[in-house]
Chains A and B, each alone.
Chain A
Amino acid sequence: MMQVFPFLVVAWIVLMGLYGMVTSRDLIHLIVCLIVVQSSTYVLLLGVGYVTGGVAPYFFDISPHVKAVDPVVQALTLTDVVVEAAVTALLLSFAVQAHKRFGTLDPHELAPFKG
């Protein structure tokens, strides 16, 4: 059971995030659901790289031959987390701009752009 449980949780988070995005009536809520979907990829990456009984891959005071978890996926997730915040800020500035033009943040009522 422990072999697949983290991946089931990843699938659950993705489905909940997508469901929130589909049924959202507010652009801010939609952006937060996008954040939730992105967080599922972090859990997936770290879950793939985990080694049972492994320690964190930092060898300042332990021997380098101790069994450690995979550091490559941690490096990928690390930069991803910080960059996601900046991209979310950019999306929020688009939402602010949309509010200025249309006066509403409801995705069903935002008029399609002309031209």
Chain B
Amino acid sequence: MNSNTITKAISGDSEALSFLINEYKDIAYNIALGIVKNREDAKDITQESFLKVLENIKGFRNESKFTTWLYKIVYNQSIQFIQKAKSTNFSDIDSVSTNNFFCENSTGEDKYLELYQTIDQLENDERNIIMLFYLAEKSIKDINSITGLSNSNIKVILHRARKRLYEKLNNGL
């Protein structure tokens, strides 16, 4: 994505706005899904996050990457949703948190399905950081900006998660 697309989006160009949404909606959705663990809620959060981005895009000054800004909004919205859900006790969030959630729709034919299941079974913070690091291709510094976790904390979590995934890879894939 070039800055021209952002400039067009800032000026209200519908095509540029559509492009931005289509380009990043799936990654944003997966970040939300990893936190709230409910497809409909994750979809709503993704939609609200994009609306928030479009609402404030005129104030975007390229000081940070567009995606870092977007994922930070998605991450914060998801965390807020979880906190709200926990305080009102209306959701079964805790009960689904350990399910093999991401793998529900997988065909089972993929040779890397086992690895994906391992990612799915990681601790919440480990999975979030793996998602941001590998899927969203964010640096430690960007992850720090998105999650608010310290750089050293991110490195420790990333190291722990990677170790488990590497072991899985070395043991049979």
Partners in one complex: no
**Which A positions have Cβ atoms within 8 angstroms of B?**
none
**Which B positions have Cβ atoms within 8 angstroms of A?**
none
